[in-house]
Amino acid sequence: MTDTIVSSASKELKIGFAQPFVIIGERINPTGRKILAEEMKQGDYSRVKADALAQVAAGANMLDVNAGIPLADEPGILAESIRLVQSITDVPLSIDSSIVAALEAGLAVYQGKALLNSVTGEEERLEAVLPLVKKYGAAVVAISNDEAGISENPDERFDVAKKIVQRAADHGIPYCDIVVDPLVMPVGAINSAGKQVLHLVKRLREELKVNTTCGASNFSFGIPNRKGMDATFLSMAIAAGMTSAITNPLHEEVMQAVMGSNVVMGHDMNCARWLKKYRQPSEGDFAGGRGGREGRRRRRG
């Protein structure tokens, strides 16, 4: 039972096999959001704050913070964003950048134990990021691609993840502080994308015993009814053993699927959270309709 512990100044959170699924809000990310990018570049963080509060209100357990804006001072903007988000929410954060200097600037201002997003299997990145993870005592997202890019063979992606875990150990970072992203491909382009993830998540959990995360919405990229597909994909990934995801908590279908998955996995004791959210004043427990097949079981009993 691997637990990855992250925290804010006042709150600790476990990502783990025996824990409710962890939703990492993806909204604070200027990629593809022109207005947000421009505002952050101009030092206007009002939308960043609003996105933080809205995602936490919607049920996000953590927030991913990304400041990837071309030709901008990413380290400075990321640090300021993290400082502001931590001043108005108490959920742990994922510090997200492809620039090492930005990751360090974020870690320097972060209060608590952050999730650093991310390291890959690329030599240069391993040796640049892992020392930061160790220095600041953070946890880290390990993305299973390397110099060769992203393999379409899930077992090759497993080998990359294994290499990252071993290299982290060399740096004194335990496997429980590594959350592997098996990489989710768009199923519209790769028909086996779903089976790849289910297979990989099982191997990562059984063989490396690591927690996992993913950019869930990549799966439905380019196909219609994305929210419906994201909901189904996430439930199936959770059944295979995935323990967190970077996704949009404002999508009701997705949150319902995650809450339902917690019930199915036995991680919502007495269905308490499900009942709290969906019970109507009019109906009590066990006031549900006909139990279908169960009706026949009873007759037979």
81 binds its own copies (CB under 8 A): no
If the CB atoms of residues 7 and 247 are measured against its own copies, the closer one turns out to be 247
Q: Which of 66, 89, 243, 244 binds its own copies (CB under 8 A)?
A: 66
| Listed ranges 49-57, 81-89, 167-175, 220-228: which one lies at the site for its own copies (CB under 8 A) | 220-228
Long-range CB contact pairs, 202-207, < 8 A, 24+:
202/240, 202/241, 203/154, 203/155, 203/158, 204/158, 204/161, 204/180, 204/241, 205/17, 205/241, 206/241, 207/158, 207/162
| Listed ranges 80-88, 130-138, 159-167, 233-241: which one lies at the site for its own copies (CB under 8 A) | 233-241
254 binds its own copies (CB under 8 A): no
Distance of closest approach, residue 152 Cβ to its own copies, in angstroms: 13
User: How big is the CA angle at 196 (ends 267 and 30), to the nearest 5 degrees?
Assistant: 75
| Listed ranges 6-14, 30-38, 73-81, 127-135: which one lies at the site for its own copies (CB under 8 A) | 30-38
Distance of closest approach, residue 24 Cβ to its own copies, in angstroms: 10
For the chain, how many residues are written?
A: 301
289 binds its own copies (CB under 8 A): yes
Closest CA to 13 of 274, 188, 279, 211: 211
Q: Scanning residues 163 to 202, which ones bind its own copies (CB under 8 A)?
A: 181, 183-184, 186-189, 191-192, 194-195, 198
Strand 211-212 with 139-143, pairing: unpaired
Q: Scanning residues 126 to 155, which ones bind its own copies (CB under 8 A)?
A: 149-150
- Contact letters (x/-) for its own copies, 7-26, by CB under 8 A? -------------------x
Spatial neighbors of 244 by CB under 8 A, at least 6 apart, are 15, 21, 22, 23, 24, 62, 179, 211, 212, 213
Q: Tally DSSP H helices, then E strands, for the chain.
A: 11, 10
- CA 231 to CA 240: how far, in whole Å? 14
Q: Which of 220, 243, 249, 254 binds its own copies (CB under 8 A)?
A: 220
Q: Count interface residues toward its own copies (CB under 8 A).
A: 83
41 binds its own copies (CB under 8 A): no
- CA 240 to CA 128: how far, in whole Å? 32
Distance of closest approach, residue 246 Cβ to its own copies, in angstroms: 6
280 binds its own copies (CB under 8 A): yes
